[in-house]
A and B are shown apart, each in its own frame.
Chain A
């Protein structure tokens, strides 16, 4: 396939993915927006004033970046895991497998779909947050790049989960038992400076911590982690998961007999 054909194939997959989650927006876009709005009301408005300030910002402002990032992570992951697994389950992944489209384009298409949903939900949650906080962006470049890289990373993780999944149960186990705990313990609701040195060190093993803090740096200009370290960790994970995902597709794991 030449460059133009590759672009057409890539665009087809991305548009198909965007149409897929747009068609079922009540299941894909609306619930995370409602859930996050509830977090804003309960943690920010009701409990927040009793907590006071954190790292020099009121509690509501402190949790906004973490909650936006949580929505992006969850939705980038969910989109790819559910879409790719459904394609396997219904068999329509074969539409791509019989065609000459290379695996890296398939990978890029699904990942872009996940990023797109992450961004749509992230933007919706950000707009909701404006009702509760006076959001000012300290470093737009950092904010945007951290969002894109984080969404890419979790979209890749979602694809790996989908490749190995053999039932619909398998696509909910990782989000429930791995992703959610990592996100909740990744500094969304607190600064790790509040923790004892031991738990601070344990927290540093959590990759989500680097993403939440990188994003918080972009918005509030504060972070528990140097932003350069956040970038490095995210990029290393993207390279690892990206290489692994592509090798899974090339070997036909979970998709070819």
Chain B
């Protein structure tokens, strides 16, 4: 099957000496929802810029659904939609005009773009604002406007560069739903984001760029499976001052009299065993939640240290501000 995006040997050097990309090789399959992550300055935006013809590459090859960006530029570009990181529309144009004009740049006549514009604006909750100047929109509305604009020509590959930055949680969730539906309908999506829970909940595959190199390219599931440690917060029905003992594979700490943090090695223990153990020590649980985002834990490990992701340490009580007790485990 022809890859939706195929990158090989992609290099980019700014000026004489700043090497932003050091030979990226990447294939994204049609229909995928792919997360491209990396710290600031890692090379994500440069990669996206090259794919979307906003940055000139130094070397390498980029193909969009088999169309080479050098030799079949028009065909390749016609298949891509970009939602950039920064607001980049004319602030002094009405919403409807911005989207319809974008369709025009793709050669789509007004008779087609106007109904599509209406459909997209309604789907994204912007129809009431169609005649408003873009500068009058809120941050969340501007983000949705950029999504609508990127979809006017019905691209097969949608690239989202931090699409939910600065957007409140309610709108972010509705955008997730919209993007999920779009992906389910067959659009391949590449997402960069600093909200790792966003990548974890939306994306099936993931690539991590570090200092201009793709250091990870795998499925989200496989990546998360490398995480040995699970961290949970348990809310208790009754206050407690004494904690049950723990061992090397499990740490228990008291955050406050009704909240307990538990960190355990999932190779050694299951969540059922943890429940049973807490119950056995008369700790009646009312609710529980994940303490930290799992992907965030892996990501931090990959981009901030040279340790491999599979060797994340079990529990670091310096991360919390709690009393801690250790003893034997279930």
Which residues of A does B touch, CB under 8 Å?
1-2, 4-6, 8-9, 11-13, 16, 19-20, 23, 86-87, 90-92, 94-102, 252, 256-257
Contacts and interface: CB of A to CB of B under 8 A. Distances in A.
Given A5-B107, A9-B107, A23-B92, A95 B77 contact: no
Nearest to B49: A257
B326 interface: no
A88 to B, nearest CB: 10
B74 A1 contact: yes
A46 B147 CA distance: 59
A8 B108 contact: yes
Interface in B62-97: 73-75, 77-78, 80, 82, 84, 86-93, 97
Contacts of B92: 20, 23
B88 to A, nearest CB: 3
B307 to A, nearest CB: 33
Interface string B146-168: 00010001000000000000000
B88 A99 contact: no
A31 B97 CA distance: 27
Interface in B91-115: 91-93, 97, 101-102, 104-109
Given A6-B107, A8-B109, A9-B104, A100 B78 contact: yes
B56 interface: yes
Q: Is the interface of B mostly helix, strand, loop or mixed?
A: loop
Contacts of B75: 100
14 contacts: A5-B108, A8-B104, A12-B104, A13-B104, A20-B92, A91-B87, A94-B88, A98-B53, A98-B80, A99-B105, A99-B153, A101-B107, A257-B55, A257-B56
Contact of B107 (A4, A19, A20, A256): A4
A40 to B, nearest CB: 33
Given A8-B109, A256-B54, A256-B55, A100 B73 contact: yes
Contacts of A101: 105-107
Q: Which of B97, B106, B149 has the most CB of A within 10 A?
A: B106
Contacts of B90: 86-87, 90, 92
B39 interface: no
B88 A95 contact: yes
**A-B CB proximity, top 9 nearest:** A5-B107, A12-B104, A91-B88, A99-B105, A100-B74, A100-B77, A257-B55, A92-B90, A100-B78
A96 B52 CA distance: 11
Given A23-B92, A94-B84, A95-B88, A100 B107 contact: yes
Given A1-B74, A23-B92, A95 B102 contact: yes
A256 B90 CA distance: 18
B311 to A, nearest CB: 37
B195 interface: no
B275 interface: no
A257 B58 CA distance: 11
A23 B93 CA distance: 10
Given A5-B107, A23-B92, A95-B102, 7 more contacts: A4-B109, A9-B104, A16-B93, A16-B101, A98-B82, A100-B73, A256-B53
